[in-house]
Amino acid sequence: MRFEVIKKGSHRKERAAILTLPRGPVETPVFMPVGTLGMVKTLTPHEVKDLGYHLILSNTYHLYLRPGLDVLKAFGGLHNLNRWDRNILTDSGGYQVFSLSKLTKILKEGVLLRSHIDGSKHLFTPQKVLEIQGIIGSEIMMPIDVCTAPKVTVEEAISAHDHTLQWAGESKVYFEEHLGQTGSTLFAITQGNFYFDVRKMSIESLVEMNFKGYAIGGVSVGEEKTLTREIIDFSTDYLPEEKPRYLMGVGKPSDLIRGVEMGIDMFDSVYPTRVARNATVFTRNGSLILRNQSNQLSSMPIEEACSCYTCKTFSRAYLRHLFKTGELLGLKLATLHNLHFIKVLMDDIRKAILEDRYGSFVKEMAPLLD
């Protein structure tokens, strides 16, 4: 992996870079669509490529359970199974420590997870998590960490930090011994909940270990938006400028614009595709709910200026009809639009940075901001 910053803006901390990975370069700032189980819901790999994406995210925990390691090994990794020939980042399963907290137990050696499918128990050690990701064959791997809920005590935040730091060191040793020659890259995940001193301690300790990239974990887990942004802005002040900064689990248009402003290079989230499947689509004037009665007779596309297949072909009335009747095509068409919208937004963000007009761009995007 190589990361080259080619332009720093003068507005705040925005920057444009090239992230070079084994299956092709990725221009940043970049949004990664989430394909939890191997591919973005409702879309084919070809459709995701046609939208212009070069990097997607998949989930280690979920792929480990289904289709399982035997299937992944038989196909020589996820790329051969799902026929996606561009880059994949796999998260570690650390988010499931938070989202499936009733099914997890944190131990010194790792996380004991009970399957949400059949209740079977699985110990995710730092070594096991990277072994799984090696079988998946992802280009960017994440170590196991502890993601905590808002309003935990400082003692709980420090304990989560201590586990995360210990496991990061063990992960780095395992990666260098077993996966260092595969072409894959290992990032670190900073934690610390919403305690600024614990965040600083996490970042400084992990930076000292010299990872290839750094993620900000443990945000967008139910806290106030202002606190989220304060933590992100604080974190990027301490993260290395010469390495990629990845904000995990954030993907609303407003958060992408503000995140770039605070120096973030990489984003992922289920938000654009999840809300699409629930009939909510993005426009430059804010979100549109396709099920609303006001769309029943509308011959307009979702957005007049949009060049996606959905907007070039179908009316709001037809899209509303699809959702009201439960037709699966509605899910696909709304997903295509939202991911096209996000890709164009990220392209416009990058262009504004390269032309050093990000401050004015943010003002132009005021209808999208919260």
User: Which residue numbers are catalytic?
Assistant: 91, 268
Q: What is the DSSP string of 127-151?
A: HHHHHHHHHHT-SEE--------TT
Q: How far is CA 147 from CA 78, 193, 202, 220, 319, in A?
A: 26, 8, 13, 11, 38
Cβ proximity of 345 and 256 under 8 Å: yes
∠ CA 185-191-195, nearest 5°, is: 155
Q: Does an H or E element contain 271, and which?
A: helix 271-277
Tokens representing 220 are 């967008």
Cβ proximity of 39 and 59 under 8 Å: no
Q: Which long-range contacts (CB under 8 A, 24 or more apart) does 230-233 make?
A: 231/194, 231/196, 231/199, 232/259, 232/262, 232/264, 233/262
Separation between Cα atoms, residue 272 and residue 17, nearest integer Å: 24
Separation between Cα atoms, residue 350 and residue 179, nearest integer Å: 32
Q: How many residues does the chain have?
A: 370
**Sheet of strand 266-269: strand arrangement:** 30-33, 266-269, 245-247, 214-216, 188-190
Cβ proximity of 47 and 27 under 8 Å: no
